[in-house]
Amino acid sequence: MDFTKSGIPGFSVTDSFADVKQRLDIVRAGNDFGFESVMGYLPLDGKRYLMGATQNPMTYDIDSVELRELFKGDTFEGIALGEMTAQEFAGELVKIGSVPIMEDTGIWWVDERVCFYVYEDVPSTICWWGKDLVDDEIKTIFSGKIEDLDPNVYHLYEAEE
C-alpha cells in the first residue's frame, strides 16, 4: 500500500471521528487523557492494518490517525518503509517536502502534519494529525516551551511530561 501525505486511503483527519470509529473492527475504545480514542483493524489492500484515532474534546474532530503496524512492501509517497534507516528515510522526505525533525523515537514532518515512530532505527508507524493543531503549536512543542501553548491544546501533551 502506498500511503500519502493526505492520509490513509479512504480515511482523512477531516473525517468525523464517529465515521472512523464505525469503520474499524474495534479492539479498544476509551476515554484517555480527556479525549476519546479508538484502536482497531482496518482492512486495506488485502491486509488488516492496526489503526488508532484520537478525538479533540473541544471540537470533536479527529486529532490524529495512526497506522500502528506496517507490512513488507508498504510505501509512503513512493518511499519504501521498513527498508532504510530513519536517517535515510528522513533524507528521502526532504526530497519531496520540508525538512523533518529527527528525534530518538520519531521523525516529525511538521509542515506536512505527519510523523513516523522509529523502532530499532526503522520507521515503524505513520501518524497524521488533524487541523486543530496548527504549525506554531507543533513547533512550540519541539522548542521545549510547552507551557506557552494555548490551554485548550495543552491537554493533549500533559501525559508526555
Question: pLDDT tens digits for 76-135?
Answer: 999 999 889 999 999 999 999 888 888 888 898 888 889 999 999 999 999 998 765 555
pTM above 0.85, yes or no: no
Left (φ > 0), alpha (ψ -120 to 50) or beta: where does 70 sit? beta
Inside any domain, residue 116: no
Inside any domain, residue 89: no
Inside any domain, residue 64: yes
Give the pLDDT confidence of 42-68 residue by residue, as tens digits: 999 899 999 998 887 777 788 888 999
Residues 66 and 130: beta-carbon distance below 8 Å: no
Cross-strand bridge partners of residue 41: 25, 50
Provide the number of structural domains found in the chain: 1
> How many Cβ atoms sit within 10 Å of the Cβ of residue 123?
26
Q: Residue 23 belongs to what domain range? A: 9-69
Distances (CA, A) of 44 to 22, 33, 113, 149, 161: 15, 29, 22, 37, 35
Inside any domain, residue 156: no
> How many Cβ atoms sit within 10 Å of the Cβ of residue 8?
21
Inside any domain, residue 83: no
pLDDT at 141: 57
pLDDT at 40: 92
Close Cβ partners of 34 (under 8 Å, ≥ 6 residues apart): 57, 155
